Structure 1
């Protein structure tokens, strides 16, 4: 039996499906990452919350980007990318890389390592990856990367996305901890 707050959405009612599906997915907290790469000396990056580990042996991760994303195209050209798991105090970086602003990298601190892709300073963890596969699914691509190197900065709280809000820990709609 459904509780009072529970709502079922029928696929027969297309006007509600998208809205209700987004609301249902928003009940799952995710980390906030920025995918970065470099092509022909130009840096590219996009904010992504659709990120997960995939396998341990070999170490692989997956992330999803829109088919219209310039970062997706750049990653497919470069065949390498980094996943930067943002820290709690880096909401401004998440918002910057979610925007269409030019020269985003001029506004942040980053370094380069083995794959020569931007690694955002202060991130909770970074993964340097070789693109293994890009799978198109409707409006997005699932990028699978083999992790060639990674770093962890212990003791940092991650930036999260929950119920449509960015914050530290689990920030709900009534939570004022947004950074």
Structure 2
């Protein structure tokens, strides 16, 4: 039998349990009325291939999310393992979230972080209330990936990098 560490099912306990699950770090950015806005999320999930949908969660208390809602398109940058500083800057509550972050513009309001592992441009499909967050579904309109950038991972309440791997590929049975 394994030793178990029980946590209360409150916010602090859930945060500790959720820290056991690694996730990618995604910048959600756009420009509205000539002002760039962005935030970082670690709750990104691919949802559907047909239609192409992705999701992420945003805290109801976010002051940035209402500004991003005014954009026609949102830019999602799946941050690379060298972009911890960008993730930290985009996570701050005060100050310039784009300090030392190289950006480029998409076809519309979408803004992207240069050097990311992948970029997704999309439009808001639906927003669903979920406790102290909103679950956002985004319909993908364009995407790109350079192919050689490893993702930045958030695990154990820290930013981490994947360990280098050898050329052997293991397949997961479906």
- Equivalence for 2:2: 3
Larger fraction in helix: 1
- Equivalence for 1:176: none
Deviating beyond 4 angstroms after TM superposition, the runs of 4 or more aligned structure 1 residues are none
What runs of 5+ residues in structure 1 fail to find an aligned partner?
Answer: 12-16, 171-179
Query: Please, which of 4, 20, 28 is the counterpart of residue 21 of structure 2?
Result: 28
Q: Could you tell me how far apart the structure 2 residues matched to 1:156 and 1:68 are?
A: 32
Shift of 1:106: 4.7
- Does the residue aligned with 1:115 lie in a helix, a strand or coil? coil
Indicate whether 1:63 and 2:61 are aligned. no
Please say which of residues 145-154 and 115-124 is displaced more in the overlay: 115-124
- Equivalence for 2:74: 81
- Equivalence for 2:87: 94
Contact 2:28 2:74 in 1 (8 A): yes
Shift of 1:122: 0.2
- Equivalence for 2:42: 49
Q: Could you tell me how far apart the structure 2 residues matched to 1:71 and 1:132 are?
A: 19
What CA RMSD, in Å, does the superposition of the two structures yield over aligned residues? 1.7
- Does the residue aligned with 1:127 lie in a helix, a strand or coil? strand
What runs of 5+ residues in structure 2 fail to find an aligned partner?
Answer: 164-174
Contact 2:86 2:98 in 1 (8 A): no
Contact 2:150 2:162 in 1 (8 A): yes
Indicate whether 1:136 and 2:145 are aligned. no
TM-score (norm 2): 0.86
